[in-house]
Amino acid sequence: MVRRHDAMTAAPAMMDESESLLASIRAVRLGDSRAFEMIMLATERRIATLAWHILGDAEEVKEALQETFLRVFRHLHRYDEKRDFFGWLYRIAVNVCRDLDSRRRRRRFFLPIEHAAAATTREVDFVMKDDVARLMRAIDNLPQKERFAIILRDIEELPTEEVASILGSTPATVRVQISSARAKIRKWMEGGR
């Protein structure tokens, strides 16, 4: 299996893409903010897909995308060209998604009790439709760290070391989190919860 992440540096077409991306990054650093549009065009789908996998809400994905690009622009001078740009970008996107996710959970916590009950009923009905929905529900119910680890490793198919770097953790911790997450998902899928 060729990982998307590895494929970027392997294929010649991707090399061109990464070179043009680097040229855009340098142009933005020199003050050409229009070149930032090229960076957005080259990366937006990947970031949006990651945000979609984490957040699962179209409006929040747009919000995450916008905030990620604003942060990228603000901190682009800190980016080390020797390192993988997408790894750096993913780290920012994951942090943005984490903030949005925490905000959403807080909002849900403070939801009036009758609204919360109605929302839960609707969600349960939806979950019971098929296995994919059940899987989605299982992933959404994982603790945030485990959820992010499994999304980056099993869904985004990033290497464990990369996942650890993005999450600011160690590969060993990520392996433990993924193992725990898989066990919980299996239990959920078997109808244990």
Partner 1 sequence: MTDFRGPLPLDDRDFAKVRRQVMSKLQRRPIAPIVFRFAAAAVAVIALVVVILLPRPEPPRRAPVRVHKAVPSVAQTLLSAPPGQARVPAPHKQQRKPEQLVATAGPPPDSEITMNIQTADPNVRIIWIAQR
The type of residue at 40 is: M
* DSSP 8-class letter at 78: G
Q: Which stretch binds partner 1 (CB under 8 A): 85-93, 116-124, 152-160, 167-175?
A: 152-160
**Residue holding tokens 């010649």?**
12
Cβ–Cβ < 8 Å for 86, 39: no
User: Using the rule CB under 8 A, is 189 a contact of partner 1?
Assistant: no
User: Using the rule CB under 8 A, is 136 a contact of partner 1?
Assistant: yes
Q: Using the minimum distance from each CB to partner 1, give the nearer residue, 48 or 111.
A: 48
Strand, coil or helix: 132: helix
Binding mask 65-104 for partner 1 (x = CB under 8 A): xx--xx--x-------------------------------
The pair of structure tokens assigned to 110 is 């403070």
User: Using the rule CB under 8 A, is 157 a contact of partner 1?
Assistant: yes
User: Using the rule CB under 8 A, is 122 a contact of partner 1?
Assistant: no
Max CA separation in the chain (angstroms): 56
Q: Which stretch binds partner 1 (CB under 8 A): 48-56, 91-99, 112-120, 165-173?
A: 48-56
Helix H segments across the chain? 4-10, 12-29, 35-55, 58-75, 85-109, 113-127, 131-140, 144-150, 160-167, 171-189
For partner 1, the binding residues (CB under 8 A) are: 33, 36-37, 40-41, 44-45, 48-49, 52-53, 56, 58, 61-62, 65-66, 69-70, 73, 132, 135-136, 139, 154-155, 157
